[in-house]
Chain A
Amino acid sequence: MFLRLYFYRLKDILFTKEIAIWNIFFPIILGTFFYLGFSNLMNESDLKLSPIPAAVVTESENTAFSEVLTSLCEEGDDQLFDAVYTDLETAKTMLNDNDVTGIIFIADTPHLMLSDNGIEQTIMQSFIQQYCNQADVLKEIAMKHPEKLSQAIDTLSSDVTYGHEISLANASYDPYMQYFYALIAMTCLFSASAGVHCLANMQANQSSLGMRREVAPVHKLTAIISDISATFTVQFLSVLLLFFYLIVILGIDFGQRILLILLTAFLGTLISLMTGLFIGALVKKNEAVQASIALVYSMGCSFLSGLMVEAIKDWIEHTCPIINRINPAALITDSLYALNMFESYDRYIRNTIILAVMAVILCLISYLLLRRTKYASL
């Protein structure tokens, strides 16, 4: 019974024009616009790299590091830092006055002092990190093959610059990847409308089809689960299709952890579907009203997560972070961002758990609401 209901429902959904348009073509078209619009921007920002102003304070001698630092401060195409060698006091004043982005301490273990977060700070951190990772190697080269040192530094600097590019592609104010994350989130969130529609087709007070189906001897739970599964299948497939289009056709790089990215999309679709169910079960109005609410929900969440104005999400993070913690669109974009940016899974896992828990809660509430079985009015 379940499979029959499922497959018929699948066909029903696939042949509904609105669903094809909104879930499949709209995201792809939007993605294409983003791609065309931002591929230029992306190239420009590559060119605009300028040296990062930094104060350098010597705590203790470290020849190898000094050597590396000096070579990265030399004027030229690959100049990374614009360094001012000074004492701690002056350096701190400069940092406070925003004359420099950070202070680099020359010491046995080189370290940083930063006052802010941002792309330049990230680059500086990345540089120190890279150096520390490879300090032993560099020291050895400096001692045994001084002539090869500059070559080694070049490698290091290009690693940092590479880090730089990654940061550019993903940092919060970058117009490029953030938009694609938001696009993915939006596509997931469109499932809310599908959830509303799915439920309306099952409820006697919403549609004659629902009425007809409620007089059939099919357990309500079976009916709901089969329909929801079919709706989910289509919704998730449309997200997969979008990924395929973005990654394979447009060549957009979402990083290496593709399975985890898909897990996020899976949960994102699930939670939106559950939200749709929840809206359908809770709002005692006709399907059109419920569908509008679902649309407002998906577009609203997408907007807050930076689909139209990328700075919104950051602004919320500073003013009311809780919204970003519970906005599914923000959780989805943040998970994708974290997967691509950070080695550690902490942030990803946190987001994933929130998504999963919210989905389960919505599902339970919807079930409780839907158990009511007779209608006061049809």
Chain B
Amino acid sequence: MSTPVVKIENLVKRYKELVAIDHFNLTVNEGEILGLLGPNGSGKTTTINCLLSLLSFDKGTVEVFGETMRPDSYRLKRDIGVVLQNVAVFDTLNVYENIDYFCGLYIKDKALRRKYVQEAIEFAGLSEFQKFYPKKLSGGLLRRLNIACGIAHKPKLIILDEPTVAVDPQSRNKILEGILELNRQGSTIIYTSHYMEEIEQICSRIVIMDKGRNLANGTSQELKQLIKNNETIYIDTLGLKNEHLTALRQMNHIYSVEYDQQQLIVKCSGGSHNLIHVLGFLQEQNIAFGRVYSELPTLNDVFLEITGKELRD
């Protein structure tokens, strides 16, 4: 097996009393899009900053491309693209110049750089705004500029820390597609977010973190299999009695039945055709029902089950 692109072992970072990162482990292999999913304050940014050797940490090791990462690992840094959580651009340089500036920190060749900058502008959909100064850009456009500055030089490893905050859904999709494209072109990607939809959409592997710990890791499928729930059925219906609920609870694979405000919520774990069985039961009992739908578990359910709290507050 080839050396992992990033290998973090037993990372501990304390801010005085607060343990921001608590024995965190992470391995990212070449070609992956790794999603780091966690609520606000779970330590995503801190992890990234330790990984980039910006922050000192109390314990643990960080290796990038098989070498220990240090503040002066300029050779390693050359192959890393970073989009930080806080927008970092020069207010006094326009869109084109900003991208050219940051790209120029990595790419010396002028012609190549011009090409890369142009591609980054396309990528972020900033063609019409090339001459704009950051102050004149909307929040979403500014984010897109921030992304363009980070990825223009086509690095082997791209780290994006919540890059799509404040970006509208349409541009967001475009950016996500762009990230997939960068990945197809060979970049390994670390993507942090607290939007599970985003993470699910693009990531080949997901790490769920909370309170600085790596709670679970795997593909979205694997994570969902970790938990008991694999289907939630919602049925609008009138006049259910307690005995009906009790009967439902005794059916195979059903582990939770609630009835509230004329909506029946049935949670199932494993098994198949659960919906048909539940509806069959209602018909047997001559109970009329309206809207029916069934949901597969989300990452939020995974998170809820692992931590006992919602991913989003």
Interface residues of A (CB under 8 A from B): 1, 4, 8, 11-16, 204, 207-209, 211-220, 373-378
Contacts and interface: CB of A to CB of B under 8 A. Distances in A.
Nearest to A210: B88
A214 B80 CA distance: 12
Interface string B95-134: 0010001101110100000000000000000000000000
Contacts of A217: 74-78, 105-106
A8 B93 contact: yes
Interface string B264-298: 00000000000000000000000000000000000
Q: Pick the most buried of B102, B105, B106: most chain A CB atoms within 10 A of its CB.
A: B105
B87 A208 contact: yes
Contacts of B102: 212, 216
What class of interface size applies to chain B in its complex with A? 20 to 34
A214 B108 contact: no
Contact of A377 (B15, B53, B104, B105): B15
Contacts of A375: 54-56
Given A215-B52, A374-B71, A208 B93 contact: no
B84 A208 contact: yes
Interface string B53-81: 11110000000000000111011111010
B92 A15 contact: yes
B93 A12 contact: yes
A374 B97 contact: no
Given A8-B93, A374-B53, A378-B55, A220 B105 contact: no
A218 B89 CA distance: 17
Contacts of B75: 217
B86 interface: yes
B74 A219 contact: yes
A129 B269 CA distance: 111
Contacts of B72: 219-220, 373
B92 A215 contact: no
Nearest to B20: A377
A209 B74 contact: no
B86 A211 contact: yes
Contacts of A374: 53-56, 71
B90 interface: yes
B76 to A, nearest CB: 8
A12 B91 CA distance: 8
B92 A4 contact: no
B82 interface: yes
Q: Pick the most buried of A14, A211, A213, A215: most chain B CB atoms within 10 A of its CB.
A: A215
B171 interface: no
Given A8-B101, A208-B86, A373-B72, A216 B106 contact: yes
A208 B49 contact: no
Given A215-B77, A376-B55, 6 more contacts: A12-B93, A15-B92, A211-B54, A215-B54, A215-B80, A220-B71
Contacts of B101: 4, 8
A301 to B, nearest CB: 29
A12 B92 CA distance: 5
B56 A376 contact: yes
A207 B84 CA distance: 12
B296 to A, nearest CB: 39
B56 A208 contact: no
11 contacts: A8-B90, A8-B97, A11-B93, A15-B92, A208-B86, A216-B106, A217-B77, A373-B53, A375-B55, A375-B56, A377-B15
B244 to A, nearest CB: 57
A215 B82 CA distance: 8
Contact of B88 (A13, A209, A376): A209
Contacts of B55: 374-378
B92 A16 contact: yes
B82 A212 contact: yes
Nearest to B92: A15
A212 B78 contact: no
B49 A378 contact: yes
Contact of B54 (A14, A16, A209, A214): A214
A218 B88 contact: no
Contacts of B92: 11-16
A213 to B, nearest CB: 7
Contacts of A214: 54, 71
Interface string B145-179: 00001000000000000000000000000000000
Contacts of A15: 92
Contacts of B97: 8, 11
